[in-house]
Structures are given as structure tokens and as C-alpha cells.
Structure 1
Amino acid sequence: MDNQLYRLLKLITLIQAYPGIRAKRLAAECEVTERTIYRDIDRLAQITTISKGRRGEGYRFVGQFALYPLDLTEEEIAGLQAVAAWVETAHRPLPPGWKTAYQKVMAAHAKEKKVNQGFLERVGDVVRLGNPAWAPETPNVFPELLQAVIHRRPVKALYHSQSRDQTGWRRIDPYYLIPREHRFYVIGYCHTRKEFRTFRVSRFLELRVLDGEYEKRPFDLNEYMKYTWSIERGASLIRFVVKFSPKVARYVKEEELFLRPQIRELPDGSLWFQVVVNGASEFLRWLWTYGPDVEILEPKQYRDHMVGILRQWLEKYERAQQG
């Protein structure tokens, strides 16, 4: 291969692997003068944009120019870097191709990491999250959380617990991002509580992705969410039997539910519906969306509860009319 062509390819590899690399180091790596490096950089600048940066800063590519990336994990890259560091300190002789091969791998990985980060940021930009009606606008931490879930990175977050009305810092290993009822939730291991917890994304006030991968603990998402109607996990199982009117039966049958109920169509077109849940509140809120077209048959406790709520509503509206 022509020496100049070889040197240009090596420059591409070095600049991609070490963004901000200076002319002095490039000259040493290529075994030429800095003057030659300046001429080579001018040639490369004819096919792609190279940024010099401010005084004291080195060269880096601008835009999407890159060698083809390799599919290596962070653990594999860390292993390669450890070997390279050991080689430098031990002064052990290695085959001539080792150094150039290592530089090519690091160059490709650096570009792949940048492209992946850009993709995750674009995903975070197009997935729009709402904000609580009466709370200050919270930062969009979705891109960082998505990155942390995909790459198994721990996060440090300032989180507001609505049930306790308390705000505090937590270290979380995020396992899953789950959409529920126009909101996103994170399920992960909370080092503060020493257990797996569910976190609502809009309640993160600050979030930072930490270095390194977390060690994944045994965790079965299906078991964790078993008998959960939507996202709130209860402590005791409740068997509900309800009946939907013929007017809404077809809409109920096409509902996308997280639990699989037992459904039976009755002769008059109404729908018999049975499900076991580990908490009543979310299921009842769903039933209320169907208004008078749904009737709770069992358990009697919740049938009576619904009657009591309807009486309160009726009394409130009657007082308003009388006033």
C-alpha cells in the first residue's frame, strides 16, 4: 500500500479513536514530522470536515464520517483497554499488528457509541411525556433512562414519593421502562429500599447516569406484575365479577388489558366479566369510565362501596341544584 494512503487511513483511525488528538502525537504514531501531519490533515479536509478546536485542542471529525463500527459490549471494550494498559506497563513484546488492530477497534467503538447515543437522544425527543397539572415542569429524563435500561447502567436520581410526600436521592438499577395509562414507569432495584420498586418517570426531578454496569439480580417481571391491573401492586387478591351492558360490550372486548379476564357473552348481548387483581383502586377507576353501563356483581363489599359513592355524587349535585 502506498505510504501516504496508509498514513491517511491511520490518521482517520487515530482521530476517530482519540477525538482531540494533537498533531505531535499523530506525528509520533505515524513516524513523520508534524509538518507532514498538517499536509495530510489538509488532504483529509477535502473529503470530510475536521475540527481543530481552540488553542491547545487537537483534531476531531465533525458529522457522521467514520469507519464501519463493531458490535462490542462495554465489558469487551474495557477488557481490551485493560490489556492495552497492561502491555504498556509490562513492556512485553507483541506482534506488529497488535497496536494498529487495537486502534481500529477503539476507533470503530468510539463512533458506534456516538451514533447509539444520538439515536437514544432522538428517541427521547420524539417520545413526549406530560407533566403533572399543578407541579413545576420537570426535566425530560427519558433519554437518560432509556440509555441506562439498554446499557444496564445505574442511575442516581432525586425522586419525589407521592405516597410519603417526600423527596430524596436514590441509587437505582433500572431494569424496565413500562408505559401505563399515558405515563411511563421504571421498574428497578432501589439500593435505598433494598428491593425492587416502581417509579413514575415524571416524579424524577434530577437524574444522572452513572459509570459502569450494574450486576443484574434474579428478577421475573411477570411474577412481579402478576395480578396487577395496571401498575399499582396491592397486597391481597380480590376476585371481581362485573357485567357490562350490550351498549359497551364490544368496546370492552377490544380493550388492551394487562391481565387476561374470563369473559362470557350473555344472551341479551351484555358481557359477564371476571378477573382477579391484587388491588381494587386501579380496577375501580377503570370501571368508572363506563359509568352506568357497568355493574359490580361481586364482591358485595365493593358493590356497596360503589352504591355509597353514587349516593355521595347524587347528594352533591342535588345540593348544587337547590342552592
Structure 2
Amino acid sequence: MTEKLIRLLRILQAIQANPGISAKELALKCGTTVRTIYRDLRILDRVAPIMNEGYGKGYRFIGDFAMYPLDFTEQEAMLFCMLPALVDTSKLPTEFDSAYDKVISAHTKLKTRNSEIVENIAGIIRMGIPAYREEGKDPNLLIPIIEAILDGRTIQAQYHTLTNNQITFRHIDPYYLVPRDQRFYLIGYCHLQQKVRLFRISRFLDVTKTNAVFDMGDFNITQYMKNTWSIDRGEEHIHFKVRFSEKVAPYIKEEEMFVRPRMTDLVNGGLLFEVTLNSSREFLMWLYQFGPEAEVLEPREYRRQIRKQLLVWLERYEDEEAL
């Protein structure tokens, strides 16, 4: 009876460690006949959700069923994974197969569950789609990117650079995912350019997680994005002073920003908004949406630049005959 119980447990462990294992392989592992394995599987089917995927495809568990052995560390699991390739297992005690299956079964189940969690997270994140692409045609590349960030692994990527319309192959150490508007950006070390870069997720055409491990070192994302309004990092040091009307002041106060502006309430209900940035383009684009409800006071050159832009727009819209 004890021998049969041990064999039943070994079958469960072997199926979990090797999804799709055949009855013949189970018989070899347990030192018995295929006929006995079939009989044992009928017994186990009453307590464990074992599924046969069809002729020649072997056995696996249905759903989240799993047997967990002792609390092995990741390093111990990795060591056992490597042992069959490093030693002649035929010269080891028969208990080695049992220990190996225990470790691999737990390791495989944990990895599978972690992958499912990442897939679920990536699945509920909605991003905008470039206008030139058809919806639903692209794979969700957030999955391998998130997995690589969590595992500290380098990714191999195919990336489309829009400025020169080139597709390049790169190795990137992924550090952080940064959301902006309907887009996601990846901050990571680019091996091709040998510096930390910012990549737009929608421009990745293919991403594969490698086995290469990376270390961020002393990289600090707060310092990296300091004085950056959104994504574009510049080398300038521009102090903007903007007056918002009382109509939009409440909305400005609750705006979620990545910089820390100084806001002062005005007597008329308006708001004085001051912020120091390293680039002007994205800030001005954000500012334009408020139209006449926002007035740039400083720097003076940007005030003149906006006035010039308004005159160009006015001239464009005054020419009705051009329609």
C-alpha cells in the first residue's frame, strides 16, 4: 500500500513538472508498466483534475491545481534544473528523480502563475493605437516588457524610429514603464547607443526577453525626469510664469503633473502658475488647450512667440477663399 501511495504521488509530481508527459514516460519514471499507470491514473482522476489532451499528447492538470513541495528558494530550484545537464543522473540514487520532479513542479507552477498575473495586468491596460495601424493586429508587447522588468532581464527588440523611418534591432535593459496620455514609454539602457533612452511602446515591432541579467546601478528616475513636463527631455532651464483665469483655475489645481509647480491664488479667483522646465514644446502644447484663459507672462520671448503664432492662425482662418 505504501509503495502504491508513493507511486501515485510521483505520478502527480511528474505531471506537474512535465505537462504533456506520456503514460510510457510515467511508467519509466515510476518503474512500473504502462498498464499500471493507466490504472493509477483512473484512481487519481477522482481527486485531481488530470486531462489527456488526445492520442500521443500526454497528461496535464486542468486549471490551477498544483502540489507544492518544501519551501525551496529560487537558487535551489535553479540548481536542480541544471543538474541533469551537469551530471550523469544514471549514477545517482533513484530518489534524485523524485526530488527533481518536486522542485521543477513547484518552480514551473510558480512561473506559470506569475506569467498569468503579468498577462492579466497587461490585458487591462489600454493604450492608444497609432492611426496608421489596424486595431487588434499587433501583439501585446507589454507582457514580455513587464516580465523583463520584474525579472531584471535584458530584452531584444525590433524598434521603429520615426525621425529617420528606420527599423533597428536593439538590446535594452528595461528600467521603468511611464504612462503619458494614451501612450506608454519605456525608460531603459540602450546597448546600441550606450546610454539611457526613452522608447515609445507602440514603436516596438517585436520584443523578446533574454536570459541576460542587468543591474540599474545608481540610476534614479526622479533625477532623470527632473524638470521634464512630460516626455521630451531638454537641456534648457526655462522658468515659466502663467496667469490662469478664474474659469479654469480649479481644474489647473487638480491637474496631475510630473513636476512640482508653484501656484498662487489671485484676488480675482485666478491662479498664478510658475514652473521650471528643461524643454518648452510639450508645456506649450498643453497650455494652448486653455486658449485665452491662459496668459504667459514670462519669459517675454515665449509671450512674443505665442503672439506671432496667433497672428499666423488668424491669417490662415481669415482667408475664406482658400477653402
Query: TM-score by structure 1 length?
Result: 0.89
- For 1:300, the equivalent position in structure 2 comes to 300
- For 1:164, the equivalent position in structure 2 comes to 164
Q: Per-residue CA shift, 1:110-159, capped at 9, x if unaligned?
A: 11111221222222222222211234554321222222222222222221
Aligned counterparts, 1:152-231, within 5 A: 152-231=152-231
- For 1:37, the equivalent position in structure 2 comes to 37
Question: How far did residue 215 of structure 1 move?
Answer: 4.1
Moved more, 48-57 or 266-275: 48-57
Going from structure 1 to structure 2, the CA distance change for 1:234 and 1:40 (only over 3 Å counts) comes to same
- Structure 1 outlier segments of 4+, above 6 Å: 69-73
- For 1:130, the equivalent position in structure 2 comes to 128
Letter in 2 for 1:123: I
Question: How far did residue 275 of structure 1 move?
Answer: 0.8
Q: Per-residue CA shift, 1:7-44, capped at 9, x if unaligned?
A: 21221111101223333332333233322111111212
Question: How far did residue 75 of structure 1 move?
Answer: 5.1
Going from structure 1 to structure 2, the CA distance change for 1:135 and 1:121 (only over 3 Å counts) comes to same
**Number of residue pairs matched by the alignment:** 321
Going from structure 1 to structure 2, the CA distance change for 1:23 and 1:283 (only over 3 Å counts) comes to same
- For 1:120, the equivalent position in structure 2 comes to 118
For the 8 Å contact 1:70–1:109, the answer to whether it is kept is: no
- For 2:104, the equivalent position in structure 1 comes to 106
- Would you say 1:144 and 2:153 are equivalent positions? no
Q: Secondary structure at the match of 1:154?
A: strand
Partner Cα separation in structure 2 for residue 134 and residue 25 of structure 1: 51
Question: How far did residue 298 of structure 1 move?
Answer: 0.9
Going from structure 1 to structure 2, the CA distance change for 1:75 and 1:128 (only over 3 Å counts) comes to farther
Moved more, 228-237 or 151-160: 151-160
Question: How far did residue 166 of structure 1 move?
Answer: 1.9
What's the RMSD between the two structures over aligned residues?
2.6
For the 8 Å contact 1:240–1:299, the answer to whether it is kept is: yes
Letter in 2 for 1:61: F
Q: Per-residue CA shift, 1:199-252, capped at 9, x if unaligned?
A: 111111222222343344431111111111111111222111111111111111
Partner Cα separation in structure 1 for residue 228 and residue 267 of structure 2: 31
Question: How far did residue 260 of structure 1 move?
Answer: 0.4
Q: Secondary structure at the match of 1:210?
A: strand
For the 8 Å contact 2:236–2:278, the answer to whether it is kept is: yes
Moved more, 127-136 or 273-282: 127-136
Q: Percent identity?
A: 44
For the 8 Å contact 2:174–2:189, the answer to whether it is kept is: yes
Q: Per-residue CA shift, 1:84-134, capped at 9, x if unaligned?
A: 6445469467xx866534422211111111122122222222222221123
Question: How far did residue 160 of structure 1 move?
Answer: 1.2
- For 1:67, the equivalent position in structure 2 comes to 67
